[in-house]
Structure 1
Amino acid sequence: MPGICARCDKNVYFAEEKIALGKSWHKLCFNCASCRKMLDSTTAAEHDDELYCRSCYSKKFGPKGYGYGGGAGVLSMDDGTGYKNGPVRSNVSHLAQAHVAPLLGPPAPKPTGPKKFGGADLCARCGKAVYMAEKMMGGGKAWHISCFVCSGCSKRLESITLCEREGDLYCRTCYGKNFGPKGYGFGIGAGVLQMS
């Protein structure tokens, strides 16, 4: 015996049957109640015995408010045409108002880093050309594999042991010794495990 479609209340035969929420649906009736997008088992969401796609479900029934697509951090299509005269400052003392710096010319171009030699980056440590087969990236610069070592102990570095300071690379141990906190309780006193 055929089932009854939950959307159109007509008979559903086995060849065109989709089962969801314990009900039978026609393949063409198994779509979003809002946007009519066709659904499958991974994109279907239910609310009050109706089917919705994930995006329509979250728009209609998801959390609302700050941090959920309606607050200040959301991309706005406002072009600012309604603010021609600036913000209202009538009840704010002139001493409490923030200074707005005048607009300057275009910003100065950023330096592009080390000069390139024949299309190859230059190594930040030795200054020679670094080609793709021997290139390591760290601290925003290119390095030879042999130059990609700690400045303190010359230990080979990996992405998880890399620390960068003022253009030089360090292992975690040397970085902690040279730039970490100093004093009692920070690894300088007696009874401390030494990593040398």
Structure 2
Amino acid sequence: MSNKDGCHHCRTPLSGVKYTVQDDDPYCVMCYNHLFANMCEDCNKAIGWDSKDLAYKDRHWHEACFKCAQCSHSLVEKPFAAKMDLLLCLGCYSDEYSSKCFSCKNPIMPGSRKVEFNGNSWHETCFICKDCKQPIGAKSFIPKDSEDYCLQCFERQFASQCKSCKKAITTEGVTYQGQPWHKECFLCSRCQKQLAGQKCTSRDKVIYCLDCFSALYSRRCVACAKPIASDGVAKYVSFEAHEWHSDCFSCTKCEESLVGKRFIKNQESVFCLECAKGLHMQA
């Protein structure tokens, strides 16, 4: 390295004096400090060429000035935290600013993994399930009576069990005759149609939609042989253990409706009085 031309800035000869190089050009100490040295945030003096320059977020310190703003302990090669442009050792930062773990009451150090819920904070390892005592971490959990449970423990202890699949009901469910069901499990046992929100009935503890129940068990009309609905909506006529839809209860011969009228029954047939006379029947 040649210094025959002297300081690149002031041209002062550098022979026999201390100098430094910046961008391959030599500078005397005074010019280097004036042109290139950063100012220390603590003492507000230049950080000379022969001093160690410690930097954090475009701010610079002498090595001896890089210390905690509260306890003055050196922060060189030590973890630290920043608060309102002040550098603090972790101990001072924790005492002043760190949240306290809701469980162990100790500070949650900067950079530590933590869980926040309902305005409280926990160390990640302190946020545990009330039942199994395992850390919940980022997994799903359910609070109950000021305690927190992982999803598996909550389902095992508190969730209703579906009457059909025997699994916990954690979302939408249906209650029928005092028994809980998943909405998707509450089906007609015959046609497998979903019954949630629909009218249904049961027989011998087996659940049916009304159509299937009628097809299997309802009384049948003597005239048309179709089921007479058992939901109380359809009108029907009953006589001597036989039943007819109201619309089907008519004279077998003239087909005149017999609802509310006198009639004659002959085996499975019914006749109005006029037609019965022609058949030599008596009312």
Q: Structure 2 length normalisation: TM-score? A: 0.23
Q: Which has the higher contact order (CA 8 A, sep 6+)?
A: 1
Higher helix share: 2
Q: Structure 1 length normalisation: TM-score? A: 0.32
Larger radius of gyration: 2
Higher strand share: 2
